[in-house]
Structure 1
Amino acid sequence: MAPDPWFSTYDSTCQIAQEIAEKIQQQNQYERNGENTIKLTVTIRTLLQNLKDKIALLKDLLLRAVSTRQITQLEGDRRQNLLDELVTRERLLVASFKNEGAEPDLIRSSLMTGGAKRGVPNPWLFEEPEETRGLGFDEIRQQQQKIIQEQDAGLDALSSIISRQKQMGKEIGNELDEQNEIIDDLANLVENTDGRLRTETRRVNMVDRKSTSCEKSHDLPVWSFLQKQHETEMIHRGS
């Protein structure tokens, strides 16, 4: 796996900050001994500018990684905390170099060895979690990369679940469409059958009316014949 450019830049930035602290301590020793510090001063100024540029690059890389979702929000917050600590160190180094806000010995002690015991915060001795305490930069980076991989695996599993649910939703939708088509076909069949039934009913009624008319027309001659026959019999009986 290719190294993360953010952590590579972070490691080199921390090394520059450490080098600046050592140079400031050396400069203070030269001043106490009355030695020339011009060369050291130029070196420290160059290193401070380099540190500033590196921090700006880290900010840009972090913003780009978060905005393009190359890292999770949790990892982005973790890297932002590391970056904030670097910014704090830079400010203390600049203050120490300019001898602002504290005596040189006190600032040097804070930067290099146990200044926190004398009431001055030590930027190099920030509280670490148990998981990273005593680990080097490479080991911390590997541990963070492992965490990122685990988070990515969790996101992949979640994405797989969502994909399956989406597929199930599509299949349910297709089945509902098929059932709706069947219902529409049944409705059309019932409507057509009902229309045919109405047509056949009208035909039956028409045939029935015609049959009734024919029966009545055939019954009239028979009745006249019987009436005439009865009148003839009555005449014969009278004579």
Structure 2
Amino acid sequence: MALISVGEDTWAIEHEGCEKLYREIMEQFTLRSQELKTSVEYARISSSIRFRMKQFSSEVFQLKDKIMEASLSRSITQQEAERRSRLVEVLKSKERQLQELFNERKHSALVGGRAARPFADMGVSGWRDDEDEENAIGGSDLPSSEYSINEIRQQQQAVVRVQDEGLDVLSKVISRQKELAKVIGNEVDVQNDIIDDLTENMENTDSRIRRETKQIGTIVQKDKTWMYWMIIILLFITIVVVGVV
């Protein structure tokens, strides 16, 4: 969703869009909680959540910026500006809530890991390694550092798969566009041929019209000469008759 201006006050619509985006992110958190943290689907949902959280932060910032612009241009009242500012503060609170929810696992790991270890756990070489800490705390089969690395790798693999799927879709779209361009090109060629035929027919028709017009002019001219001769003959006959009488 993009926050755009179309020459009118769309702040309320954009605020509702932010609220909708927040609800979508919370739904994704619910879906992620149903997946194993080591699964590919968990990594994919986490990547999607991270992207939507960045989008949410950007849109909240734009809403706040638009309040300042509207206040300076006096397109809204001071009371309306204060009301919108309170709504933005609520959104910023939700943004912090999302960030804390996203980082909840990391904070839990810190509280249950090194941060909770007493200084008495130091050995000859300093702090004990991650495997000893995890085994001492909860008997985990997987060290926290290795778990984080594996999770990062899975997230990267999920992102790569999503990008590959996107590239496949893009490739198919480009192929369809190429085929469509070929069809359009063929249609243009056909239309050009039709236009050429029409042009040639128009030229032939114009030539015939000019020829017929010329013939009609000649016939009309001949018709006028014939009438002149008829008048002359009639006058001659009249003169003869008068003379004889």
- TM-score, normalised by the number of residues in structure 2: 0.38
> Which of the pair has more CA radius of gyration?
1
Using the size of structure 1 for normalisation, the TM-score is 0.39
Bigger RCO of structures 1 and 2 (CA < 8 A, at least 6 apart): 2
